[in-house]
Chains A and B, each alone.
Chain A
Amino acid sequence: MTPRRRRMVLVGLILLGVGGAVALALTAFQDNLLYYYTPTQVAAGEVPNDRLFRVGGMVTEGSFRREPGSLEAQFVLTDYESNVTVSYTGVLPDLFREGQGIIARGRVARDGRFIAEEVLAKHDENYMPPDVADTLRKQGDKRVTTPIATSTVESGAE
């Protein structure tokens, strides 16, 4: 083989390998897309029941419930249009509290509750999931605060 032919073979092999790898990676990409829904969409049943997704909203005041000594918690997530009951077992993030905007990842159980595998709260007390802010803005609500870009650190509890 001439050096040129050999180099073509080499390039061909590389392309083949890279192509295969990209195909594999794109499959992983498809499988790991997490869609974001609002409590309204969850309440209307517009959400997938076979895969994980995220739902974001504000934790309704007075909705947090937990048996003493138990790790299982239940609370209501709202976008001020509809409500979703979320249940989660485990340690909640530091900034989780009633009236705070959070994002939960999980799926809907048969009884309509959202079973969260992970709850995220932003390290910014004024944080509001963007969709909730949009909804409130449409309603002319003054609770909308401009997100402050000083901290983009997310704290999660898996």
Chain B
Amino acid sequence: MIAELGHFALILAFCLTLPQAFFGLVGAHARKPHWMRVTNGAVAGHFVFAAVAFACLAYAFYVNDFSVLYVAQNSNSALPTFYRFAAVWGAHEGSLVLWLFMQAAWTLSVAGFSRNMPQGMTSRVLGVLGVISAGFALFILTTSNPFERLWPAAVDGRDLNPLLQDPALAVHPPMLYAGYVGMSVPFAFAVAAMLEGKLDSIWARWVRPWANIAWMFLTIGIALGSWWAYYELGWGGWWFWDPVENASFMPWLIATALIHSLAVTEKRGLFKSWTLLLSITGFSLSLLGTFLVRSGIIESVHAFASDPSRGLFILVFLGLCIGVALGLYAWRAPRFRSQAGFAPISRESFLLFNNVLLVAATGLILLGTLYPMFLDAFGLGKISVGPPYFTVAFLIPMLPLAFLLAPGMHASWKRATFERTKRLLLTLFAIALVLGIAIPLVVYGWHSVLTLVGVIVALWIAFSSLIEPLQRLRKRQSLSASVLGMSIAHFGLALFILGATIVESHKEEADLSLAPGQSTEHAGFVFTMNSLREVECPNYRAIESEIVITRDGERVAMLHPQKRIYRVQQNPMTEAGIAGAWNRDLFAAMGEPLGNGAWSLRLQYKPMVRFIWLGAFVVALGGLIAACDRRYRQRVAAEATSPAAAADAKPA
């Protein structure tokens, strides 16, 4: 019954996207205010029904309704409640429902926070979002219905993939989807601006907070995914340049370029067409990413063909979105020519470099990701592109970008002379140079020039991102949220570069065999296996080893890595034991029994690895703070003191 209710809600949610799209777009075109007003009602209704559909699916999981096929495939009565909820988005159908719900939530927020926008603009944006929601709802209803019944009902479910039974991965997809879906908002704004034929600084000011928030969610989502891969896949890598990862990283790179290009469009009225193009590309890559992952095309094109209707729908939808948007762009972009000029050394130029380099990096990653799929699709052979390519291809554009960051942050618009900050920047560079060479050499020893370069540039960025906030603080001047957010985000980036550089240069890994009572030395630590024991849990059983780590006779940590067998799917899983500290992780993962009581173990020493995720979260925080800048809400605030809000404000 609940499942049918959910299905029905899904159908209603789809139906409501049609008036949302129609009245939004046509109402704005025909300039009919009462038509446009219908849009808001449709948006609210769509949100309610998308939420009901989502809640129904979650409820089916909660009560273990194994007469629903999707639940039977992805849950089990022994699964802990928390993971039963996370299992909702554990596979294709449910994650699309989550996507639809997120899309509805973003659309509702746009409708709610758009009071400072002209009605025509809001209406067009909501209309475009309506078209996107319609596409998704139709996709779910025609090819991926999560409420399909299983008759007779299964006695018990096939269980959630054990890899997904993890707190970070329970939160990772919603964050990532919030980011992917969020990219549809700048996209909708771009299409709306092209339809209206008007794009000015105020438009950029409307888009910036949305782009920032979407980018923030993408950042968190990717960081959580990386963190999960690090400890849950069991092998201690934090980035594999796997197509699935690339699929989420490319929209992030474009979104990063977009938030920088939007700054130029807002402040100087420049880069207008470029901003539009980035908005379109960002969302297209989000779509491409989700579908690459969800259609199974990554596994092999043969899997893609296993459900041709899904693949076809995806391709057509993607083609329509990109095609219509680019067609509109070709038609309307010439109108958005900017007149203002800027000197070769100016903030505009620095941001131009930022954009070119980020787009170049995206292009190179796209090449490495799609090329093997194209060859495979056309039967030209099976290849894969090794991770070293991605590392090189990514570092080439990113190294100059990192060095341009510190001066770029302090360059003034139009023409930058660095009068005020030249000496300070150079002094900071000198300090970064000395510390960046001395500290790694003293602490870790020589590795390579690239290591030193990485540390130097990270320190330089970190120092110079603090200039502005500290100076304002000293002079007791106020600091706008956007400047503060920018400084924090850049500081976070510096932390990330530092962590990534040190861990990639000085990590130490070893595969070895260890039996209870034996010990081994690794990276200056002594690892002793105390014991092996069996552990029984409701949904899995495990063999757990106890490993004591000492250094110079003193106990540093105790690890309990496990090798789990999940009861339903019978897949073995490695649960690594990690002892974390701010400056290093000690990591032990169990391999397999080698006979004579010995086990193969992978031991790792990971210096500064936590800075990678710490940095990413600081970056995301910066994005959030920047999005909260007062000037984005100024007119809302002015209106809030008008009748409606004033009535609310009366003392109760």
Q: How far is the CA of A65 from the CA of B383 in the complex (A)?
A: 29
Known: A29-B368, A95-B571, A150-B91. A34 touches B393 (CB 8 A): no
B381 touches A150 (CB 8 A): no
Interface centre among A10, A92, A153 (most CB of B within 10 A): A153
Say if the beta carbon of B396 comes within 8 Å of chain A: yes
Contacts of B117 in A (CB 8 A): none
Whether the Cβ atoms of A150 and B92 lie closer than 8 Å is: yes
A46-B124 Cα distance, complex, nearest whole Å? 59
Per-residue interface assignment for chain B, residues 236 to 251, with 1 indicating a CB less than 8 Å from any chain A CB and 0 otherwise: 0100101010000000
Complex CA–CA separation, A122 to B240 (angstroms): 15
Query: Which stretch in B289-297, B486-494, B497-505, B611-619 binds the other chain?
Result: B289-297
Residues of B207-257 at the interface with A, using a CB-CB cut-off of 8 Å, are: 233-235, 237, 240, 242, 244
Contact: B513 with A94, CB < 8 Å? Answer: no
Tell me the chain B residues, 24-67 only, with Cβ under 8 Å from chain A: none
By beta carbon, the residue of chain A nearest B306 is A146
Query: Which partner residue on chain A sits nearest B297 by CB separation?
Result: A149
Q: Which residues of A contact B569 (CB under 8 A)?
A: 125
The answer to whether B364 touches A25 (Cβ under 8 A) is yes
A6 & B596 in contact (Cβ 8 Å cutoff): no
The 0/1 profile, CB within 8 Å of A marked 1, for residues 326-351 of chain B is 00000000000000010110000100
Instruction: Report how far A156 CA is from B382 CA in the complex, Å.
Output: 19
Residues of chain A with a CB closer than 8 A to B82's CB = none
Known A35-B383, A130-B300, A153-B163; contact A14-B353, beta-carbon cutoff 8 A: yes
Asked whether A147 and B299 contact (CB < 8 A) given A69-B595, A153-B233, the answer is yes
CB-CB under 8 A for A130 and B302, given A18-B356, A32-B385: yes
- Residues of chain B in range 576-611 having any CB-CB distance to chain A below 8 Å: 589, 591-592, 594-596, 598, 600-602
B512 at the interface (CB under 8 A from A): yes
Please determine whether A152 and B382 come into contact, CB atoms closer than 8 angstroms. Answer: no
Give the residue name and chain of the A residue nearest to B305 (CB): A146
Q: Are A149 and B92 in contact (CB under 8 A)?
A: yes
Shortest distance between the CB of A41 and any CB in chain B (Å)? 11
Contact present for B598 and A32 (CB under 8 Å): no
Per-residue contact bits, chain A 10-22, to B (CB 8 Å; 1 contact, 0 not)? 1000100110011
Q: Is residue B202 within 8 Å, beta carbon to beta carbon, of the partner chain?
A: no
Contact of A32 among B233, B299, B389, B591 (CB under 8 A): B389
Q: Closest CB of chain B to A66's CB: distance in Å?
A: 7
Bits for B354-391, please: 1 = Cβ < 8 Å to A, else 0.
00100010001001100000000000011111111100
Query: Which of A33, A153, A158 is B244 in contact with, Cβ under 8 Å?
Result: A153
- From residue A31, how far is it (CB to closest CB) to chain B in Å? 7
B408 at the interface (CB under 8 A from A): no
Chain A residues with CB under 8 A of B515: 69
**B299→A6 contact, CB < 8 A:** no
Q: Which residue of B lies closest to A68 (CB)?
A: B595
Q: Is B201 an interface residue (CB 8 A)?
A: no
A109 near B: Cβ within 8 Å?
Answer: no
Q: Is the CB of A35 within 8 A of B244?
A: no
Q: Closest approach, in angstroms, between the C-beta of B339 and any C-beta of chain A?
A: 12
Question: Would A24 and B600 be within 8 Å (CB), given that A89-B511, A155-B235 are in contact?
Answer: no
- Contacting residues of chain A (33-52) with chain B, CB-CB under 8 angstroms: 33-36, 52
CB distance from A139 to the nearest CB of B (A): 16
Contact call A149/B161, Cβ cutoff below 8 A: no
* Chain A positions within 8 Å of B602 at CB level: 90-91, 157
Question: Is there a chain B Cβ closer than 8 Å to A133's Cβ?
Answer: yes
State whether B571 touches A29 (Cβ < 8 A).
no
- In the complex, are the beta carbons of B353 and A149 less than 8 A apart? no
Interface residues of A in 100-138 (CB under 8 A from B): 122-123, 125, 130-131, 133-134
A71 to B602, CA, bound (A): 11
A36-B383 contact in complex given A68-B594, A150-B91, A151-B163, C-beta closer than 8 Å:
yes
Among A3, A131, A149, residue most surrounded by chain B Cβ atoms (within 10 Å): A149
Q: Among A3, A6, A68, A123, which residue has its beta carbon within 8 angstroms of that of B571?
A: A123
Interface flag for A154 (CB, 8 Å): yes
- Bound CA span A7–B307, Å: 51
A24-B396, A125-B569 known; A32+B294 contact, CB < 8 A: no
B393→A25 contact, CB < 8 A: yes
By a CB distance below 8 angstroms, the chain B residues around A69 are 513, 515, 594-596, 598
- Kindly provide the distance from the CB of A33 to the nearest chain B CB, expressed in whole angstroms: 5
Q: Is the CB of A94 within 8 A of B574?
A: yes
Q: State which of B295, B360, B591 has its C-beta within 8 Å of the C-beta of A22.
A: B360
Contact of B385 among A29, A66, A125 (CB under 8 A): A29
A29 adjacent to B384 (CB under 8 Å):
no
B344/A147 in contact, CB under 8 A: no
Task: Establish whether residues B299 and A152, one from each chain, have CB atoms under 8 Å apart when the complex forms.
Answer: yes
A151 to B163, alpha carbons, bound, how many Å? 9
Other-chain contact of B388, A32, A95, A122 (Cβ < 8 Å): A32
Say yes or no for B298: interface residue by CB 8 A criterion. Answer: yes
Known contacts: A70-B513, A155-B235. The answer to whether A18 contacts B360 by CB under 8 A is yes
**Is B600's CB under 8 angstroms from A71's CB?**
yes
Contact B298 A152 (CB under 8 A): yes
Contact present for B92 and A34 (CB under 8 Å): no
Q: Which residues of B contact A3 (CB under 8 A)?
A: 341, 343
Give every chain A residue within 8 A of B385 (Cβ-Cβ): 29, 32-34
Complex Cα distance, B385 from A33, in Å, reads 5
What CA separation (Å) do A25 and B639 show in the bound complex? 53
Question: Given the interface contacts A35-B383, A130-B300, A149-B295, does A25 sit within 8 Å of B396 by beta carbon?
Answer: yes
The 9 A-B residue pairs with the shortest CB-CB distance, nearest first, are: A149-B296, A68-B595, A91-B591, A32-B389, A36-B382, A28-B392, A32-B386, A90-B511, A25-B393
Q: List 13 A-B contacts (CB under 8 A).
A: A21-B396, A33-B386, A35-B381, A91-B601, A94-B571, A123-B161, A125-B571, A149-B299, A149-B307, A150-B91, A151-B161, A155-B234, A157-B602
New A-B contacts (8) at CB < 8 Å, excluding given A29-B368, A91-B600: A17-B400, A25-B364, A33-B384, A91-B511, A91-B591, A147-B306, A150-B91, A153-B244
